[in-house]
């Protein structure tokens, strides 16, 4: 009788313990993130990005300092917080990286092939896009995320992004929702936010692009989309394609209104 009771008690403890431990782990991860954010290597990428922004490059040997990110040529303050948005000169919606590429081609006279040869770098050699993203995004710190929503093409991009979020395809028949469609899911310790919900999208939007601690590299939204498609075993999406821009736009609009705190830190 006593032994049976002890057995039940042990069983109930065993059920409770993981839940409590999980809370502790979450708290510790929070504390760790807090410590990292107070001295984030993301700042080093911002410095590299600033140097690249001002460096004359390409056949025309000009810098990106006249690049119009949507709030005027060369204006950086608040530019990232208002992206993605519709650009009349390109007649399409662009996110930060797609716009940077546009400036590399139109201002610096570089070819798309050359400028996109190495858009995703690594710890030993970050890509131009990564450092530039860090620099530009940092100039929107403390500002409200307000991507473009008024133009018909912006509305179309949002709808396309939303549709793609649910679109199952590939050899594993995966969609974004396969991982990011249900609350409480995670891969190892990484929580998988349901990006259809503003309360989840907001903190994501406020912290990307980001420094990734486990790889010591800087990661961008275009990289995130590319890597998710790779993990879903789908064909690699083209850099700055309508599909990746639409997904980024959809997520950003869903998380709009949040104060930008990035570039952030990821596990």
Cα–Cα dist 191/259, whole Å: 21
CA–CA dist 255, 196 (Å, integer): 9
Query: Which of 8, 11, 47, 75: binder of other proteins (CB under 8 A)?
Result: 47
* Cβ partners under 8 Å of residue 226, min gap 6: 120, 236, 237, 239, 244
Contacting range for other proteins; rule: CB under 8 A; set: 43-51, 135-143, 153-161, 236-244: 43-51
> Quick one: which H or E segment has residue 184?
none
Nearest distance in Å: CB 224, other proteins: 21
Among 48, 97, 128, 154, binds other proteins (CB under 8 A): 48
103 is catalytic: no
Footprint on residues 21-40 left by other proteins (CB under 8 A): 38-40
Does residue 44 belong to the site contacting other proteins (CB under 8 A)? yes
**H/E element, 152:** helix 152-166
d(CA 151, CA 42): 33
Choose the catalytic residue: 67, 176, 179, 228.
228
Instruction: Among 28, 43, 173, 182, indicate the residue that binds other proteins (CB under 8 A).
Output: 43
Looking at the Cβ atoms of 111 and 216, the one nearer to other proteins is 216
Calculate the alpha carbon distances from 234 to 90, 133, 230, 238 in Å: 28, 26, 6, 12
CB-nearer residue toward other proteins: 45 or 208:
45
The SS3 call for residue 210 is: strand
CA distance 132 to 51: 9
Interface mask (CB under 8 A) for other proteins, residues 110-139, using x and -?
-------------xx---------------
Which has the closest alpha carbon to 147: 212, 82, 205?
Answer: 82
Give whichever of 38 and 89 is closer to other proteins, judged by the CB atom.
38
Query: 34, 117, 216, 227: which one contacts other proteins (CB under 8 A)?
Result: 216
List of residues contacting other proteins (CB under 8 A): 38-41, 43-44, 47-48, 123-124, 216
Catalytic site positions: 228
């Amino acid at each position: 009788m006593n032994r049976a009771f002890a057995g039940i008690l042990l069983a109930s403890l065993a059920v409770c313990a993981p839940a409590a431990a999980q809370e502790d782990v979450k708290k510790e991860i929070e504390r760790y993130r807090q410590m990292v954010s107070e001295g984030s290597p993301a700042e080093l990428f911002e410095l590299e990005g600033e140097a690249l922004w001002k460096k004359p490059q390409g056949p025309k040997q000009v810098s990106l300092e006249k690049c119009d990110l949507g709030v005027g040529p060369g204006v950086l303050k608040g530019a990232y917080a208002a992206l993605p948005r519709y650009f009349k000169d390109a007649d399409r919606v662009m996110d930060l990286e797609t716009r940077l590429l546009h400036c590399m081609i139109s201002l610096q006279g570089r070819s798309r092939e050359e400028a996109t040869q190495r858009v995703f770098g690594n710890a030993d050699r970050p890509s131009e896009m990564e450092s530039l993203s860090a620099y530009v995004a940092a100039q929107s710190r403390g500002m409200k995320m307000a991507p473009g929503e008024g133009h018909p093409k912006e509305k179309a991009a949002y709808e396309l992004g939303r549709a793609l979020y649910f679109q199952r395809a590939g050899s594993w028949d995966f969609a974004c929702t396969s991982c990011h469609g249900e609350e409480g899911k995670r891969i190892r310790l990484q929580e998988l936010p349901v990006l259809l919900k503003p309360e989840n999208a907001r903190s994501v939007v406020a912290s990307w692009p980001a420094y990734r601690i486990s790889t010591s590299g800087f990661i961008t939204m275009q990289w995130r989309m590319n890597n998710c498609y790779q993990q879903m075993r789908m064909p690699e999406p083209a850099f700055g394609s309508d599909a990746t821009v639409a997904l980024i736009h959809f997520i950003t609009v869903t998380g709009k209104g949040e104060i930008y705190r990035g570039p952030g830190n990821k596990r």
